[in-house]
C-alpha cells in the first residue's frame, strides 16, 4: 500500500513539473528580424548643376554612357592622357559637353594641350626634371622634319613573316627578345612590340612601342638601359645593330621621335608608371 502511494506521488510531481515547463513566458522564444534598408539602385547617371560660393567646388559630373570615351591608340599624341578620345555615343553628347577640339557635327573630341602649355613639359616639378630625378624631361614637339632627303622603308606585304611579325627586337642587357608587329593598338601589343604605322621599318628611324606591365612586360626595363647598350633588330631585309645613345622622359605630346631621319636609328617608347603625362623614350643609333 505504501509503495502504491509512493508511485502516485512521483507521478503527480512529474505532471506538475511538466506543467511548469509549459507555463514559461512565451516571450522567451520570440525574436525579431529587422526590415531591409533602402535598396541600392547604383550610382545615378544624371547630373544637375551645383552652384557654390567658391565658384563650383562641388563638381557636377556626368557618368552616363553619353560621356564615355573611346581611348586613343597607344603612341598617338593623346595616349595616356585622361579624358581624351572620341565619345562612345556621339549622338548623345550634350552640346554643353563639347570641349576643346570640337568638330562640326555631333562628334566632340577632346584634344591635348598645346606643346607650349604648362602640361606639355614641366621639368621644374615633374620627377626626373631639374629637381632630384636622374632622367631629363625633354619636349621637342615643336621640331620639324628635316627638309633634306631622309631614310625611309615602307612596310609591304613582302616584309611579313609567317607568324605575322615584321621582325625581332633583341636587347641582351635586359634579356629581351620580342617580336615586332605592325600597329600600336591593343591587338599587336598583346602579341609583342608594335611598330608605329606610317613610319620606316628599315632605313632611317624605326619607332617601336611596347607595354611595361600587365599582360605583357616587354619594355618594363628599357628605362634602365645605359649608353652603349646593344640593340639588334632583324627583318627580312637583314639585321642591324644599334647602340643606345639616350634614355629620356618625354611629354606625351612629343611625337618628334616618330620623325624620319637621315641616319639609321631605332626609337623605343613605353609609358611611365603612375605618370600618364610622360613616356620613356630610348634612342639608339646604328653602330658600325
pLDDT per position as a tens digit, 230-273 = 999 999 999 999 999 999 999 999 999 999 999 999 999 999 98
Which of 148, 130, 216 lies closest to 181 in space, CA to CA? 216
Q: For residues 219 and 210, is the Cβ–Cβ distance under 8 A?
A: yes
d(C-alpha 175, C-alpha 27), whole Å: 75
d(C-alpha 250, C-alpha 136), whole Å: 8
pLDDT tens digits, 173-200: 999 999 999 999 989 999 999 999 999 9
The β-bridge partners of 168 are: 179, 234
CA-CA distances (angstroms) from residue 19 to 7, 22, 24, 153, 288? 19, 5, 9, 103, 108
Task: Determine what percent of the chain is predicted with pLDDT higher than 90.
Answer: 44
Write out the residue limits of the CATH 2.40.260.10 domain(s) in the chain. Answer: 137-286
The β-bridge partners of 206 are: 266
pLDDT category of residue 100 using cuts at 50, 70 and 90: very low
- Which CATH number is correct for 137-286, 3.90.1300.10, 3.20.20.30, 3.90.1150.10, 2.40.260.10? 2.40.260.10
Average pLDDT over residues 122-150: 43
Which of 273, 276, 277, 286 lies closest to 222 in space, CA to CA? 273
Average pLDDT over residues 154-178: 97
Q: Which three cell numbers stand for residue 283?
A: 634612342
DSSP 72: P
Mean pLDDT over the full length of the chain: 73
Q: Which three cell numbers stand for residue 111?
A: 584634344
pLDDT tens digits, 72-99: 776 665 565 666 667 666 666 554 444 4
Average pLDDT over residues 276-286: 94
User: What per-residue confidence (pLDDT) applies to 214?
Assistant: 80
Long-range contacts of 224-230 (CB under 8 A, 24+ apart): 224/174, 225/171, 225/173, 225/174, 225/282, 226/173, 229/171, 229/173, 229/284, 230/171, 230/172, 230/173, 230/287
C-alpha 63, offset from chain centre:
19
Amino acid at each position: 500500500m505504501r509503495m502504491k502511494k509512493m508511485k502516485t506521488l512521483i507521478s503527480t510531481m512529474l505532471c506538475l513539473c511538466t506543467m511548469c515547463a509549459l507555463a514559461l513566458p512565451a516571450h522567451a522564444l520570440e525574436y525579431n528580424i529587422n526590415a531591409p534598408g533602402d535598396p541600392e539602385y547604383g550610382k545615378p547617371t544624371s547630373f544637375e548643376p551645383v552652384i557654390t560660393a567658391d565658384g563650383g567646388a562641388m563638381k557636377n559630373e556626368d557618368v552616363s554612357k553619353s560621356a564615355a570615351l573611346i581611348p586613343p591608340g597607344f603612341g598617338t599624341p593623346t595616349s595616356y592622357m585622361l579624358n581624351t578620345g572620341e565619345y562612345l555615343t556621339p549622338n548623345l553628347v550634350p552640346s554643353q559637353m563639347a570641349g576643346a577640339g570640337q568638330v562640326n557635327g555631333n562628334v566632340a573630341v577632346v584634344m591635348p594641350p598645346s606643346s607650349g602649355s604648362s602640361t606639355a613639359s614641366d621639368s621644374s616639378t615633374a620627377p626626373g626634371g631639374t629637381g632630384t630625378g636622374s632622367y631629363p624631361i625633354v619636349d621637342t614637339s615643336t621640331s620639324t622634319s628635316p627638309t633634306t632627303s631622309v631614310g625611309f622603308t615602307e612596310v609591304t606585304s613582302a616584309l611579313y613573316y609567317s607568324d605575322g611579325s615584321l621582325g625581332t627586337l633583341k636587347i641582351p642587357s635586359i634579356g629581351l627578345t620580342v617580336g615586332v608587329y605592325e600597329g600600336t593598338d591593343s591587338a599587336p601589343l598583346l602579341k609583342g612590340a608594335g611598330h608605329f604605322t606610317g613610319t620606316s621599318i628599315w632605313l632611317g628611324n624605326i619607332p617601336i612601342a611596347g607595354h611595361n606591365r600587365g599582360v605583357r612586360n616587354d619594355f618594363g626595363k628599357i628605362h634602365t638601359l645605359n649608353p652603349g647598350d646593344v640593340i639588334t633588330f632583324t627583318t627580312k631585309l637583314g639585321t642591324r645593330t644599334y647602340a643606345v645613345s639616350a634614355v629620356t622622359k618625354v611629354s606625351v605630346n612629343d611625337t618628334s621621335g616618330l620623325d624620319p631621319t637621315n641616319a639609321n636609328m631605332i626609337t623605343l617608347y613605353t609609358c611611365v608608371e603612375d605618370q600618364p603625362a610622360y613616356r620613356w623614350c630610348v634612342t639608339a643609333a646604328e653602330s658600325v
